[in-house]
């Protein structure tokens, strides 16, 4: 081949190689740029999703705390009502036992006076009987 043609072919090859390299470099830059932009969008989307999930979690936590506080308040009110009712029942039972003890005390006092009166009569009869037996025994001696 002619050296001029060879040189011209080499020059065309170098120019083509430079254009291909430049085109490849630009394509590589564009791909890298698109990749970086996509990565930024994904990161932004991930951050936004993370914030939404965190916000939703925080709201759920607040609702749960609120429900628990309301439950505690209702439970405390119910417990107070039950204790007041229990206090009333215990007081009523104590008053009933007190009244029963007073009635038993009155019955025992009445029984004591009746028994003492009855035993006083028996004692008088026995003393009278004892006195008569003693007189009879003295008369027989």
Beta strands per DSSP E along the chain: none
pTM over 0.95: no
Task: Look at residue 117 in the predicted model and tell me its pLDDT.
Answer: 73
| Residue 2: CA count within 13 A, CB half-sphere | 3
Half-sphere exposure of 56 (CA within 13 A, CB side): 6
Task: Give the pLDDT confidence score for residue 98 in this predicted structure.
Answer: 92
Q: Predicted confidence band at 139 (pLDDT cuts at 50, 70, 90)?
A: confident
pLDDT tens for 57-88 read 999 999 999 999 999 999 999 999 999 999 99
């Amino acid at each position: 081949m002619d050296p001029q043609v060879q040189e011209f072919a080499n020059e065309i090859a170098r120019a083509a190689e430079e254009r291909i390299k430049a085109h490849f470099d630009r394509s590589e830059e564009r791909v890298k740029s698109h990749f970086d932009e996509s990565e930024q969008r994904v990161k932004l989307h991930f951050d936004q999703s993370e914030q939404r999930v965190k916000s939703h979690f925080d709201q759920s936590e607040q609702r749960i705390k609120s429900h628990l506080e309301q439950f505690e308040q209702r439970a405390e009110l119910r417990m107070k009502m039950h204790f007041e009712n229990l206090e009333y029942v215990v007081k009523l039972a104590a008053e009933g036992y007190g009244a029963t003890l007073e009635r038993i005390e009155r019955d025992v006092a009445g029984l004591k006076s009746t028994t003492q009166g009855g035993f006083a009569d028996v004692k008088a009869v026995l003393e009278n009987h004892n006195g008569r037996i003693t007189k009879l025994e003295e008369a027989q001696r």
